[in-house]
Amino acid sequence: MDYFEVLKPGATFLLTFIGMCSAVVAAGGGIPAERLVLILLAIALGSAGCNGLTNYLDREVDARMTRTSHRALPSGRISPPQKVLPMVSGLIVAGLALAWFLHPLCFVAGAIGVVASAVWRKTVSCTFLGIVASCSPVLIGWLAIKPVFELKILLICLLVAVWVPLHVWSVMIANRDDYLNAGLSYFPLSWTVTNVVRTLFALSLVLCSISIWLYFTGLHIPYLVVSTVFGLAMVLASGNLLFSTTGKAAWRLYKLSAYPYLGIVFLTMALDAWLL
């Protein structure tokens, strides 16, 4: 169970899910079962391996933070921590091999995601590299079906790119003292809370706008309704944070941003392409 925990199953599931939904949108509906299985395996194995690698690289910082000190590596439940490296390396290699089998462009997207996950951890670059890493599963799913770039996939990636700082920075605000006590003071921790929450509110407006813009790429009214409702929920949550600037409000925004928001928006996109 400890080795499974190292792979961050919640984050791995979300990345695999949005990658699968991207493939369904690219296909405009159903995907042959064997192709879908290969896509799911490539994304799931690669994402699990990358999440395990980030857990390994962050283990010393995680040990200094109350929120993360209980994890398997910083707590010492897996010792020495190098014991996880064969597992995570094997998962990454297997994911990249399957990505190459799907299409060389899938391999490129996967390889870029691996590099982005591994370098400059817990620095000012972390969020921006996280954007690259989070777009990787979406691109693998899309390129496995339609190896061309068009407005729809660019907007989907832009949606993820704006979502990442909303998701990451909100949890950093919610646990700001924990980060600072661990010796971490990189951006946005170097900003005042007021400036960060103003930025998050602006990003929530951009996020809602992008999700609505996607409707005009060939999606239908049910998608527009769902994406608008959840986009406005993100705006309201970030607005609440703007006026309260409390850790509790930041935590609510963080929890809303993952499965309720990103998961449902991608699910609605996929159902729109499949059923309508």
Q: pLDDT tens digits for 207-239?
A: 999 999 999 999 999 999 999 999 999 999 999
Q: Considering the chain, what percentage of its residues have pLDDT values greater than 70?
A: 98
Mean pLDDT score across all residues of the chain: 93
Q: Do 17 and 120 lie in a common domain? A: yes
The token duo for 29 is: 């509906």
Res 190: pLDDT: 87
Q: Do 19 and 90 lie in a common domain? A: yes
- Give the residue-averaged pLDDT of 147-158: 96
Token pair 């190098």: residue? 82
Torsion angle (degrees, nearest 10) of CA 163, 26, 260, 121: -40
- Give the residue-averaged pLDDT of 135-143: 98
Q: Do 136 and 160 lie in a common domain? A: no
Res 34: pLDDT: 93
Predicted confidence (pLDDT) at residue 125 exceeds the cutoff of 80: no
pTM over 0.85? The answer is yes
Q: Do 19 and 141 lie in a common domain? A: yes
Res 258: pLDDT: 85
Q: Do 78 and 162 lie in a common domain? A: no
User: Rg of the Cα trace of the chain?
Assistant: 19
Q: List pLDDT tens digits, range 6-53.
A: 999 999 999 999 999 999 999 998 899 999 999 999 999 999 999 999
Q: Residue 210: which domain range?
A: 149-276
Centre a 10 Å sphere on the Cβ of residue 86 and count the other Cβ atoms it contains: 9
- Give the residue-averaged pLDDT of 134-151: 96
State how many domains the chain has: 2
Which of these three, 119, 148, 177, is where a domain ends? 148
Res 128: pLDDT: 84
DSSP 119: S
Q: Do 8 and 129 lie in a common domain? A: yes
Q: Do 172 and 216 lie in a common domain? A: yes
Q: Distance between CA 108 and CA 96 in Å, rounded? A: 9
Q: Distance between CA 51 and CA 31 in Å, rounded? A: 27
Res 30: pLDDT: 83
Q: Do 138 and 22 lie in a common domain? A: yes
Centre a 10 Å sphere on the Cβ of residue 125 and count the other Cβ atoms it contains: 14
Run of H or E including 170: helix 151-174
CATH number at residue 43: 1.10.357.140
Res 120: pLDDT: 64
CB-based burial, 21-37: b 16+ in 10 Å, e otherwise: bbbbbbbeeebeeeebe
Higher pLDDT, 228 or 127: 228
Nearest to 178 by CA among 15, 14, 65: 65
Q: Do 80 and 164 lie in a common domain? A: no
Which of these three, 114, 148, 182, is where a domain ends? 148
Q: Do 119 and 165 lie in a common domain? A: no
Q: Do 125 and 153 lie in a common domain? A: no
Query: Would you say how long the chain is, in residues?
Result: 276
Higher pLDDT, 271 or 245: 271
Q: Do 200 and 104 lie in a common domain? A: no
Q: List pLDDT tens digits, range 65-122.
A: 999 999 999 999 999 999 999 999 999 999 999 999 999 999 999 999 999 988 766 6
The token duo for 40 is: 């799911």
Res 256: pLDDT: 95
Q: Amino acid identity of 78?
A: I
Q: Distance between CA 236 and CA 124 in Å, rounded? A: 27
Which of these three, 148, 183, 215, is where a domain ends? 148
